[in-house]
Structure 1
Amino acid sequence: MDWQQHAERLANEVTDPDSRWTTPVARTARHELIPRWWEREESGGWTLRIGTDNPELWMEAAYSDRSLITRVGKLHADHAEPEARAEGLPTSSATLPSLVVRMLRHGRLGDGLDLLDLGTGAGGLTAYAARRLGSQHVTSVDVDPYLTRAAAERLAPMGFRPQFLALDATVEIPGTYDRIIATVGMPAGPELRPMVGALREGGRLAITLGRTSLIITGWKHTCGDVIGTVERDMAGFMVTRANDDYLPVPTRLFTLARESDGEEISTGRYPVVDLANAWELRSMLEITTPGVELDYEQRDRNRTAYLAHPDGSWARASAEWTKPPTVHQGGPQRLWTTLERIRTRLNTEGSLPLLGSRARITPDGLVHLSRGKWRATAGAK
C-alpha cells in the first residue's frame, strides 16, 4: 500500500517547510496506528470503520488533519465486531496531527533530552518524537494497558521501541524527565503533583488544564515551581480517567435544571450558547466556578443550555435562536449569572484575561494564574 504520498501531503499541510517535524510526519505510517476507528452518526451513536475493508477511505482518514476516535466508553474499535455500533463518550483517540505538532513545538524538544509523553492514545506523538529524538529518549504512559501494548506492537515494526508504561499518572510517575507533554487534560490539585515531581529542574512541560482548553507551558525552577504562561493557543483534550470509562454525571444534577421553575426567573442579556464549543467562555467558567457540568439541546431554531453543579446549583436558559433567553436558576450559586458576567467582560474588554496570563504551578499541584490585577487559582479545595 502506497501510504508515503499521503503522509507527505499531510506533512506539508501541518508543518512548515523548514520544520523539524516535517520528516517525522512524512515518514510515519499513521494508518498502521489506526487500523479501526469510530465515526459519529447523526443519531449520536458511533459506527465502526475497518481500514482494510476500504483502503481508500483508510488512507483518507488516517492522513487527514483530524482526530479519529478509537475507543468509545469501554469498547475499543480493535475489539468491536464488524457492523458494531457504540454508545457513550469517546475515551481514546488518535489526535489530529496538526495539534500533535503544536504540542511538540510547545515542548521545545532538543537532542539528548528525555521526553515523557503523557497519554499514549494511538501512539502518534510517541512515533513522531521517537523519530526525532531516538526511542531511548522517549517514554509514553497511559492508564489503559491495551493502548500502551498496542502502540508498542505497532511502532516496533517501524523501528521505534520507546518505553511504554501503563499507569495512572495522577497517582505516580516513575523517573524524571527533561520534557513532559500531556495530550490529556490534567486536573489541577493533588493529581498534578506526580507530574511536577517528575519534571527535572530546568525542564519544561506543555499540558492542557483539565475541563478547559488552556495550554500551559513552563520551566521548572530551583524552588520547585513550574513558571510559565497560558499560551495564546487552545486545545481540546479528553480529561484523565482512572477507570475503564468516565464516571457518569449524576442524573440528579440535571433533573432540577430540566424540570424545575427555580428560585429565580429572569431574562438573559445574551443569546443561548453551546458552552462546550465556546472554548474561552467554558475555560473561564471552569477557572472561576470549577465543577460545572454542561448540556445543550437544539431543536429547529429553539436552543436550550443547562448548567449544573455538584453543590446543587443549576440553570436553564431557553430561547429561539438569538433572542434573549428565559433563564431559570436555583441552588446556592447563580450559574447563568456568573456566565453572563464573564460574557460581559469579554464584550467590554474584547478578551478575557486567560490567554497570555502568567502561570505558576506549585509542587502541591495548584495552578496560580495572573494577568494585571486579575488572579485565580485552580485546584484549590
Structure 2
Amino acid sequence: MEWESWATALAHQVTDPDSRWRNPLLRTARHQLIPRWWVADEAGRWTLRDGPSDPGTWAEAAYADRSLTTRVGTLHADDAGPDDHPEGQPTSSATLPSLIVRMLRHTRVGNGLSLLDLGTGAGGLTAYACHRIGDGHVTSLDVDPYLVDAARARLAAMGHRPRMITADATKEVPGAYDRIVCTVALPPGPGLRPVIGALKPGGRIALTLARTSLIITGWKTGNGDVVGQVERDMAGFMLTRSDADYPPALTELFALAAEAEGETTSAGRYPVVDMANAWELRSMLEVITPGVEVGYETRGRTRTAYLVHPDGSWARASAEWTDPPEVHQSGPQRLWNALERIRNRLNTEGALPLLGARVRITPDGVCHLSRGKWSAYMGGQ
C-alpha cells in the first residue's frame, strides 16, 4: 500500500505545523498495526473488516481520525472469521490519533525521559513515542498477552523495539518512569496505587478515571502524592480489566429497571438524557454515586434512561422527546434524584465544578478533588 500520502493527510489534520508530534504521525504506517477490525451496524451487530482484502477501505479506516475496535469480548479481529459476530463490549481498540496526541501533550513527553504507555492496544501511541523520543525510552504495558505480542511484532516490523510488558496494572506495574500516559480508564483507590507507585518523584502522569471522562494530570511530589488538576479537556477510554473480558454487567438489575414499578414513582424535572454521551454529567454522577452504570434506548419518540448500582438501586426515566419524564426508582439510593441535583447545580451555576478542579492523588490511590468551596474524593472507603 502507498500509505505515505494518507499518513500526511492525517498528520495535517490532527497536529499543528510546528507540533513535535507531526513527524511521528507522518512516519507511522498506522495500517500495519490494524490489519483487521470490527464494525458495528445500527443494531449493534459486529462484523469483521479485513484490510489486506480491501486496501481502499483499509487505508480510509486506518488513516481516519477515529478509533477502530479490534477486540469484542474475548474475540480479537485477528482470530476471527467472516461469519463471526461476537457479542459483548469492546475490550480493545486502536485509539483515534488526535486523542493519542492530546494525551501525549498532557503528559509533557520530552527527550531523555522514560515513558510508560499504559494500555498498549494496537500500539499506535507506542509507535508515535518511539519516533519522538527513541525506543530505549519507551515501555508499553497491557493486561492482554496477545495484544502485547501482536504489537511487539508489528512494531518490530516498523523498526521499533520498545520494552513490552504483560501485566495487570491494577495489581503491579514493573519499573519506574518519568512519565506515564494511560489510555485505559483506571479505578481510583487500590487499583490506582501501583500506577502511582511506578511514577518517579518529579514525574508527570496523564490518566482518566473509570466511568468518567475526566483527564487528570499531575506531578509527583517528594511525599508520594500526585498534585495537579482536572484538565479542561475530556476523553472516553475503556475500563481497565484484569481478565480476558469484563465482569458481567448488572444484567438482572437492568432487566428489573426496565419492567418494575419501583418503590417510588414521580415526575422528573428535566428531559431524559443519554448519560453515556453526556460526559460531564456522567462524570459528576460517578463522583457522587461511585459504581453507577447507565443505559439508554429510544423507541420512536420515546426516550428511556436507566441508572443501576451494585447495591441494588435502580432508576428508570421515560418520556416522549423533551417532555418531563415519569421516573420509577427503588433500592437504597434514589439515583435519579442524585442526577437531578447535579442538573440543578449545572442550571443554577452555569457549570459543574469538575473541569479545572485541583487534584491530589495520595499513594493509596485515593483522588481528592476540590474547587472553591466544593470538594470530593474518589476511591476511599
Question: Is the TM value for this pair above 0.5?
Answer: yes
User: What are the Cα deviations for residues 151-205 of structure 1, in whole angstroms up to 9, with x where unaligned?
Assistant: 0100112111000001101101111000000000010000111111100000000
1:190 aligned counterpart, secondary structure: coil
Once the 2 structures are TM-superposed, how far is the Cα of residue 209 of structure 1 from its aligned partner? 0.8
Distance 2:277 2:104 in 1: 24
Higher deviation after alignment, 259-268 or 173-182? 259-268
Matched with 2:50 is 50
- Name the % identity: 69
* Letter in structure 2 aligned against 1:115: L
Distance 1:85 1:306 in 2: 26
Distance 1:252 1:33 in 2: 38
User: What are the Cα deviations for residues 224-281 of structure 1, in whole angstroms up to 9, with x where unaligned?
Assistant: 1000000000000000001111111133322331222112111101000010010000
Matched with 1:217 is 217
Q: Is the 2:47–2:82 Cα contact (8 Å) retained in structure 1? A: no
Matched with 2:254 is 254
Distance 2:181 2:260 in 1: 44
Q: Is the 1:313–1:330 Cα contact (8 Å) retained in structure 2? A: yes
* Letter in structure 1 aligned against 2:337: T
* Letter in structure 1 aligned against 2:344: T
Matched with 1:343 is 343
Matched with 1:162 is 162
Q: Is the 1:45–1:88 Cα contact (8 Å) retained in structure 2? A: no
Distance 1:100 1:344 in 2: 34
Distance 1:309 1:253 in 2: 8
Q: Is the 1:169–1:195 Cα contact (8 Å) retained in structure 2? A: yes
Unaligned runs of 5+ in 2: none
1:32 paired with 2:49, answer no
Once the 2 structures are TM-superposed, how far is the Cα of residue 52 of structure 1 from its aligned partner? 1.0
Matched with 1:97 is 97
Distance 1:251 1:207 in 2: 29
Distance 1:349 1:26 in 2: 44
User: What are the Cα deviations for residues 117-173 of structure 1, in whole angstroms up to 9, with x where unaligned?
Assistant: 000000000000011010000000000000010001001121110000011011011
Matched with 1:305 is 305
Distance 1:275 1:283 in 2: 9
Distance 1:99 1:126 in 2: 14
* Letter in structure 2 aligned against 1:184: V
Distance 2:166 2:284 in 1: 32
Distance 1:182 1:217 in 2: 10
Aligned residues: 381
Runs of 4+ with deviation above 3 angstroms = none
Distance 1:299 1:250 in 2: 22
* Letter in structure 1 aligned against 2:23: T
Distance 2:293 2:102 in 1: 28
**After the TM superposition, which residues 200-239 of structure 1 pair with which residues of structure 2 at under 5 Å, given as runs?**
200-239=200-239
* Letter in structure 1 aligned against 2:207: I
CA RMSD of aligned residues (A): 0.8
Once the 2 structures are TM-superposed, how far is the Cα of residue 368 of structure 1 from its aligned partner? 0.3
Distance 2:254 2:2 in 1: 50
Unaligned runs of 5+ in 1: none
User: What are the Cα deviations for residues 93-118 of structure 1, in whole angstroms up to 9, with x where unaligned?
Assistant: 00000000000000001100000000
2:353 aligned counterpart, secondary structure: coil
User: What are the Cα deviations for residues 13-56 of structure 1, in whole angstroms up to 9, with x where unaligned?
Assistant: 00000000000001100000000000011221111000011100
| TM-score, structure 2 as length reference | 0.99
**After the TM superposition, which residues 68-217 of structure 1 pair with which residues of structure 2 at under 5 Å, given as runs?**
68-217=68-217
Q: Is the 1:212–1:286 Cα contact (8 Å) retained in structure 2? A: yes
